[in-house]
Amino acid sequence: NMEDFLKYNKEKRSWWLNVSQGLAKALNIPFIPNSIECFDMSNLMGQDAVGAKISFVEGETRKDKYRKYRIKGDFHGNDLKMMQEVILRRLKSTDEDELPDIIMLDGGRTQLGVIRDILKERKNLGFRAISIAKDRTGSKASAIDKIYCISDNYEISQTKIGEDALRFLQKVRDE
């Protein structure tokens, strides 16, 4: 009924406000982020390489903004080169789709270095770049995701993030 619907929407808005404020604080963003895109690379034994982009706006999937990028370069499974190609292609497509507040890579510090180099060249693109990586030091059952962020002076560091925001980023990555 309408009362349940309104209650659900209020709870959802409250949840998103909590998550987005947590992201803004942890990532040192001077505004409340509204949109996030996550990129991941995939290939089958070095062949049939693709990059995937998924998109969330206000905590909800935006499947109309999902995209697969067929890798054009001959990188033979080099995830870093594939990531660079996909991110550069995404940055060129801003006429059809504006950039999100956060771009997240499925990977660690090394993958994030690809975007750092692009950001240094292009300056002030208006989004925060982060990555999410499994901590491989412990057992699989106790693996904790690490979040890395590029600061305004292009340093990459691990970032402490609240539980709700972390769960949201995991959801985005796992989509």
Q: Is the pLDDT of residue 83 over 70?
A: yes
For position 146, what pLDDT does the model report?
A: 92
Mean pLDDT, rounded, of the chain: 87
Contacts of 64 (CB under 8 A, 6+ apart): none
DSSP letter at 23? H
Q: How far is CA 133 from the centre of its chain?
A: 11
- Return the bridge partners of 150, or none: 156
To which H or E segment does residue 132 belong?
strand 128-134
Q: Is the pLDDT of residue 165 over 90?
A: yes
Q: Give per-residue pLDDT as tens, 22-67.
A: 999 999 999 999 999 999 998 766 567 889 999 999 999 999 999 9
Q: Is the pLDDT of residue 8 over 80?
A: no
For position 142, what pLDDT does the model report?
A: 56
For position 69, what pLDDT does the model report?
A: 92
For position 158, what pLDDT does the model report?
A: 93
Q: Is the pLDDT of residue 94 over 60?
A: yes
Of residues 65 and 11, which shows the higher confidence score? Answer: 65
For position 43, what pLDDT does the model report?
A: 74
Q: Give per-residue pLDDT as tens, 112-142.
A: 998 898 888 887 678 899 999 987 666 555 5
What torsion, rounded to 10 degrees, do the Cα atoms 3, 17, 106, 136 define?
-100
> Model's pTM, two decimal places?
0.88
45: left (phi over 0), alpha (psi -120 to 50) or beta: left
